[in-house]
Amino acid sequence: MPRSVLIADDVADIRLIISLVLADEEDFVVVGEAGTGLEALEKTRELGPDVILLDLNMPQRNGLDVLPDLRTSAPHAKIVVFSGFQEASLGARALELGADDYIEKGTSVDEIVARIRTLTT
């Protein structure tokens, strides 16, 4: 059964491209998108995704701010933080707040998919 994925990023083109990439993978299905931290939380509560791909730099509650609530709302989901801020401390902080992995933007699509797959198997 494919893993359901919620993509939370304020940049529509990034959501679109990742959706297209995951659409080609039989073991994933994108069930929703969110452009703000607040929307990510609402969609998580509504859809109960298996995977949440979460950007840190979002309006209306940034990724680090909304992470603990996402973790509480979806205790079994795998939360993968996907961020452009190239600071190791943010990755460490995200993991402390409940993320399962931290991927820097610039990572290849193949590796993004591979790391999500590793987390969900």
Binding site for other proteins (CB under 8 A): 11, 13-14, 16-18, 20-21, 57, 84-85, 105-106, 108-110
Q: Which is nearer to other proteins, 42 or 104 (CB)?
A: 104
Backbone angles phi, psi at 19, to 5 degrees: -60, -45
**Which residue bears the tokens 């902080």?**
93
Q: Which is nearer to other proteins, 105 or 115 (CB)?
A: 105
Q: How far is the CB of 76 from other proteins (least distance, A)?
A: 28
**Which residue bears the tokens 């610039």?**
106
Give ∠ CA 93-94-100 in degrees, rounded to 5: 135
Q: How far is the CB of 49 from other proteins (least distance, A)?
A: 20
Q: How far is the CB of 107 from other proteins (least distance, A)?
A: 9
CA trace torsion 63, 65, 67, 69 (10° rounding) = -140
